[in-house]
Structure 1
């Protein structure tokens, strides 16, 4: 329910700004969720191989750049790609 409330709050602004219907913002939300879930195991393996601190330090940089890309997204495709790359950062957080 919390996820529904969070997406509904920002949904109107995104839809109006990009001229989307009701289904467009769902792609942006789903892209984040699917990519983060898919990378959790892989980022754990990277942390074991290269060290947790090194992998973790990449997270905030990736998240910051991807957040700026989300903010300036001119189209739905760009927004979905930026959200997917933004999801790669929290997946790198240490256990």
Structure 2
């Protein structure tokens, strides 16, 4: 299993657009019923820092998900909005959950 945490901070004026772009790709992700993955997005208390936590059964599933056009568009627009070097990607080790995952 591959688990990833991505965090980044956007400008306050970009928060609503970022939320919309996230909703767009999450809608497309929900259509991928045959792939084993989990993708959650959070907004921190500061209201400008987003955290994405994703889990994929394997690299093939990860590549399929991350190449969905609406996700690619989200990334382009997010990066263009000006992240001030706040973008951070961390591979994390899954230990357990109260949910039945993958």
TM-score normalized by structure 2? 0.34
Higher radius of gyration, 1 or 2: 1
More helix by share: 1
Query: Which fold has the larger relative contact order, with Cα–Cα distance below 8 Å and residues 6 or more apart in sequence?
Result: 2
Q: Kindly indicate which of the two structures has a greater share of residues assigned to strand.
A: 2
